[in-house]
Amino acid sequence: MLGLSKQDSALLLFVIFLTLATPIILQPFPEGSALAQFNAGYPDLMQRFAIYGIFAIGFNLLFGLTGYLSFGHAVFLGVGSYSVVWMYKLLSYNILPGLILAIVVSGLFGLVIGYISLRRSGIYFSILTLAFAQMSYNLAYSVFTPITNGETGQQVYGNDPQFLMGPHSPTSPHLFGLLMIDSLKVPVGGWVFTFNIGYYFTAVIAVLAFYLAMRIFRSPFGLVLRAIKTNRTRLNYAGINTKPYMLAVFVISGMYAGLAGGLLAAMDPLAGAERMQWTASGEVVLMTILGGAGTLMGPILGAGFIKYFENIFSKINENVLHQWFSWMPHQVNDVLSAILNPFVGEGWHLTLGLLFVLVVIFLPGGIMEGIRRLAGLFGRSQGEAKATEAQPAE
């Protein structure tokens, strides 16, 4: 199917199913229950899952396949956001022209940054990309204020040209009239499921991005990238010039990041320099390593994991903890709340950091390695059960 093997086709269908069912899967608890705090089936968070999944997929093409670690991918995220907002300002709120521009401009940035950075390898490559990221952040924050609007961030104002805006044109991001903010809420018993246009638009793009990454992984181009990670020197001795391959994958990875940044602005018409900070670059590194670098599903799982912690655990405060333990004696309630309080709310980074350390120590291959181990244990137990059944009775 679509040029994929049977196994890859099954994986793609599984990803499509998960994408379509996300509003239901992420809403497991009834609205009125105490555990509703852990529901994540609301549009903004679902969109972030899909958008940062695209960001991580693109980064994984570079880092997972070639082993080249970039600390500057947030540059493309910010460039993509600024491109979409400027299309809002010049044309209209239709998101399609902005997304096309975001991909093109981030590709050009990737060509320039990659051409210079790839003249070095290892830690020197990483430092060069970090330098470009910080330089871009400072330029956007203070020097190119006519384009970026500095620390305030770029947004649409009433005096902007918007040449394609008609008297009845929507005044929020849309795709040919379909507003990204529109949602259909479906109550089922104690649950309320939200089906949002903006989420499904980003989800469709995420599935297409995943399919393209899958084709790259299985292509001869992808095999050369894997060989570069294994031993680039040997390829050079074999007469294969690896530089065009490295530059190509760097540009493709940057275009993925630019698309993700454009989608962030497509959902919320605002672009700021903070999206170019080194912390944003470090976040996608954590997503990829946590999920499993070099795997297809790992970066998506890592992105969802981190964004879930950022948006769900950060909202749990001391009052919520007291409500959870309200059935316990007062003294026990206070002690448990005091113990857990540093790990939630503003301290969610601490919990995520501890989980990240545990994953790196016990699951070096990330979440995907844990899934493979569980699948192996399940398969082995099933095989042992069948073998036992097949043994003749004495």
Summarize the confidence of residues 298-326 as an average pLDDT: 86
Please report, rounded to a whole number, the percentage of residues in the chain having pLDDT higher than 90. 54
Choose among 297, 277, 164, 296: nearest CA to 222.
296
Q: Coil, helix or strand for 94?
A: strand
Please provide residue 296's backbone torsions phi and psi, each rounded to the nearest 5 degrees: -80, -45
Spatial contact of 312 and 339, defined as CB atoms under 8 Å apart: no
- Indicate if the pLDDT at residue 235 is higher than 90: no
Give me the pLDDT at residue 93, please.
93
Cβ atoms of 287 and 56 closer than 8 Å: yes
Alpha helices (H) along 219-313: 220-237, 243-267, 278-291, 298-311
The residue ranking higher by pLDDT, 346 or 251, is 251
Mean pLDDT across the chain = 89
Residue of 57, 81, 54 lying closest to 277 (CA atoms): 81
Q: Is the pLDDT of residue 394 over 60?
A: no
How many Cα atoms are found within 13 Å in the side-chain-facing hemisphere of 289? 18
Phi, psi of 292 (to 5 degrees): 135, 95
Report, as an integer, the average pLDDT of 218-229.
93
User: Rounded mean pLDDT of 183-192?
Assistant: 89
What is the length of the chain? 394
Token pair for 304: 């969802």
Residue 393, pLDDT > 50, answer no
Dihedral sign computed on CA atoms, order 16, 17, 18, 21: positive
- C-alpha angle 150-151-157 in degrees, rounded to nearest 5: 70
Q: Which stretches does DSSP call E strand in the chain?
A: 154-155, 174-175, 178-179, 183-188, 191-196, 270-271
The class (CATH top level) of 6-294 is mainly alpha
Count of C-beta atoms within a 10 Å radius of residue 87: 25
H or E segment to which residue 391 belongs: none
Give the pair of three-digit tokens for residue 250.
């760097």
Tell whether the torsion through CA atoms of 248, 250, 255 and 256 is positive or negative: positive
- How far is residue 321's CA from residue 37's CA, in Å, rounded to a whole number? 11
Arithmetic mean of pLDDT, 235-259: 93
Can you give 270-293 as a three-state secondary structure string?
EECHHHHCHHHHHHHHHHHHHHCC
This prediction's pTM: 0.92
Q: pLDDT tens digits for 319-336? A: 888 887 888 888 888 888
pLDDT above 70: residue 366: yes
pLDDT for res 392: 52
Single out the residue of 129, 128, 178, 149 nearest to residue 81, CA to CA: 149
